[in-house]
Amino acid sequence: MIRRTTKDDIGAIVELYSHTKNNIELSWLLPDPLAHHPFRSFVAVLDHKIVGHIGYVISKFKYNESEFIGVHPQAWIVSPEYRRHGIGLNLIHKVLDRGDFSYLIGGSKATMRIFPSIGFTVKFFVLEYVKPLKSTFAEQASFADKGTISLEEYDKEKASQIQFSDAAFMNAQESSHIQWLLDCPLCDTYAFSVKQDGKQLGVAVCYIGKNKDDILTGRIVHLSYLGDDLNSWRHTLFEIESFFRDKKCLVITTLASHPTFINALIDIGYSQRPSYPVSAFNENGRPFFLRAPQNRLPDIPDDAFHWTFLEGDMGYRNF
């Protein structure tokens, strides 16, 4: 039997993960911020015990003048002794068709093997970019030329995203989604309104945590699509770097797929992450899987997707 997850199931799901995920993480990760259901999550029950689980995130996306619903599966697991009996496939089919398309950024060896058989294609790989923060005079001087971009305290009642004329496929950044990201209990979370001459351009979401070497790391979880003006991206990144410097971060990381965002990152000293802790990733980055049955999505060029951690693993993992 497959049914919706309840609060009483969290402990059993932690057991499925052999405690590599804990109650605190799952109690934040799985609830529905819009309360359409208590949890965005299903469990498989067999022999009176929970033997499998899958969670999902639903988000709105914009492309030109159209809006779409995307579903991202996560925390998908089946107990080892119950695998190869179709339980995992039954679980994922509970979430795949809840939107106009399903997608995944990342995954595992099992994902790489299974997803093509259920209608997913690997569109491209999403790269992670890294920059060490140094306190050299030259680098500090570059911050003086920050243009008219400013970061202001995020106000969910006033925050909005400009719809630029460029045809970028991007997250609609609903306030409920942003607030859910900010409620993450596993790191320090921040959100800012990105403004130019007082005019709202979008939103920046940032996390701060310690990596495996106990170094304080800043992570740009999300940055709104800022159009085709490279200077707007560069100046916004300078402002975000200034924030991370003030917080004593020594490294910044971000996920990026849109060429304008990538060009701005490279221009100011970011480089591609050289290796990944997940064996399914390689020098190409994280695979982006897409499943869009019944032509619910238009034909979107690869370089039109603006993917960040917000669409993938939310940036709190692998600190």
- The span from the CA of 167 to the CA of 159, in Å, is 21
The answer on 277 and 153 residing in a single domain is yes
Q: What is the pLDDT of residue 165?
A: 62
pTM of the complete model: 0.91
- At 230 the three-state DSSP class reads helix
Residue 93 lies in a domain: yes
Instruction: Please identify which residue in the block is written with the tokens 């480089």.
Output: 271
The total domain count for the chain is: 2
The answer on 265 and 186 residing in a single domain is yes
Domain termination residue (choose one: 99, 114, 141): 99
Structural domain including 12 reads 2-99
Q: What is the pLDDT of residue 148?
A: 83
The answer on 155 and 72 residing in a single domain is no
pLDDT in tens, the chain (319 residues): 999 999 999 999 999 999 889 999 999 999 988 877 889 999 999 988 999 999 999 999 999 889 999 999 999 999 999 888 899 999 999 999 889 999 999 888 788 888 999 999 999 999 999 999 975 544 544 554 556 899 999 987 766 666 666 689 999 988 999 999 999 999 999 999 999 988 889 999 999 999 888 899 999 999 999 999 999 999 999 999 999 999 999 999 999 999 999 999 999 999 998 877 666 666 678 899 999 987 789 999 999 999 999 998 788 987 8
Q: What is the pLDDT of residue 137?
A: 41
The answer on 217 and 141 residing in a single domain is yes
The answer on 132 and 94 residing in a single domain is no
Residue 106 lies in a domain: no
Residue 316 lies in a domain: no
Residue 60 lies in a domain: yes
Q: What is the pLDDT of residue 301?
A: 94
Please return the burial class of 287, using the count of CB atoms within 10 Å of its CB with bins 0-12, 13-18 and 19+: buried
Domain termination residue (choose one: 79, 99, 119): 99
Q: What is the pLDDT of residue 145?
A: 53
The answer on 186 and 134 residing in a single domain is yes
Q: What is the pLDDT of residue 138?
A: 46
Q: Are 120 and 89 in contact (CB under 8 A)?
A: no
Residue 190 lies in a domain: yes
Residue 245 lies in a domain: yes
The answer on 72 and 18 residing in a single domain is yes
Going by C-alpha positions, the residue among 256, 319, 228 that lies closest to residue 105 is 256
The answer on 199 and 285 residing in a single domain is yes
Please return the burial class of 109, using the count of CB atoms within 10 Å of its CB with bins 0-12, 13-18 and 19+: exposed
The answer on 95 and 202 residing in a single domain is no
Q: What is the pLDDT of residue 63?
A: 92
Domain termination residue (choose one: 81, 99, 117): 99
Q: Which residues lie closer than 8 Å to 88 by C-beta, 6 or more apart?
A: 52, 76, 78, 114
Q: What is the pLDDT of residue 282?
A: 67
Q: Which residues lie closer than 8 Å to 198 by C-beta, 6 or more apart?
A: none
CATH number, domain containing residue 21: 3.40.630.30
- The DSSP code sequence of 30-96 is SB-TT-SSSBSEEEEEETTEEEEEEEEEEEEEEETTEEEEEEEEEEEEE-GGGTTSSHHHHHHHTTG
The answer on 286 and 202 residing in a single domain is yes
The answer on 184 and 95 residing in a single domain is no
Going by C-alpha positions, the residue among 49, 28, 23 that lies closest to residue 39 is 28
